[in-house]
Structure 1
Amino acid sequence: MSEDIILGLNTLVHVVEIVGAIILLLGFIAATVRYIFESLKVGAKQAVKSYRRGLARVILTGLELLVVATIIRTVTFEPTLEKLELLILMIVIRTIIGWTIALEMNNRWPWQRS
């Protein structure tokens, strides 16, 4: 690959990682602020469910972007067996987190009918 393409992909990976981290941070802050205001209106016990759903969405979105960045980096720059193992581990962890969040939010596994 040419130097320009490599530089562009490397920049893209860094941007996607930064956006993923920003989504995690700002999403956590927004969900927490929303929880505080909602708990003042309806009580803390009722606001917890909404808070947990908000955090779940943020975590899934942020993790998706971080996995995308890792996939690009692994395939493009460092296609070693060690990096591939790390990528597989990240995808497995993300999948397990996604399933457990879906279970918690919907009281059923993603593959079960509602």
Structure 2
Amino acid sequence: MIDSEAYWIHLVTRVVEIAGTAIIVVGAFGSLAVFLSRLLRRGADLTPLMAAFRSSLGRSILLGLEFLVAADIINTVAIEPTVQSLIVLAGIVLIRTFLSFSLEVEIEGRWPWQKPRPGEPSR
């Protein structure tokens, strides 16, 4: 019975990992397609287009990273709950959290604890 449970947990982990990877890939190509279509329609005013492209790409990466972290948590907690695997998970979550934080700062243009500037829409 345990082998069957491990099989299903591994399967769920792989599905979540594939979903996270797909979100990143589809989001990247989708963001690029929208950027290129707007560039061809509007002309050469790159500054707002680049900002929108970077924001869209960053959000896709953030969402994909959330799925990948979830897959790591499922795999570590359900399959290999050893001290060593928990330390590895902590390292992975720390690195991915730093990446997510960095992307969020890049997208928003301010630290998360800072208030939006006057006239800036809150997201």
- Calculate the TM-score normalised by the size of structure 2: 0.82
| Equivalent residue in structure 2 for 1:80, among 66, 79, 82 | 82
8 Å Cα contact 1:16/1:65 also seen in 2? yes
* Structure (1 or 2) with the greater helix fraction: 1
| Equivalent residue in structure 2 for 1:69, among 49, 68, 71 | 71
User: Displaced runs of 4+ in structure 1, greater than 6 A?
Assistant: none
What 5-or-longer segments of structure 1 have no aligned partner?
A: none
Q: Please give the root-mean-square deviation of Cα atoms over the aligned residues, in Å.
A: 1.6
Higher relative contact order (CA 8 A, sep 6+): 2
Paired letter, 1:31: S
1:107 Cα deviation after fit? 2.0
What 5-or-longer segments of structure 2 have no aligned partner?
A: 117-123
8 Å Cα contact 1:74/1:83 also seen in 2? yes
1:82 Cα deviation after fit? 3.0
- Calculate the TM-score normalised by the size of structure 1: 0.88
1:15 equivalent to 2:15? Answer yes
8 Å Cα contact 2:65/2:100 also seen in 1? no
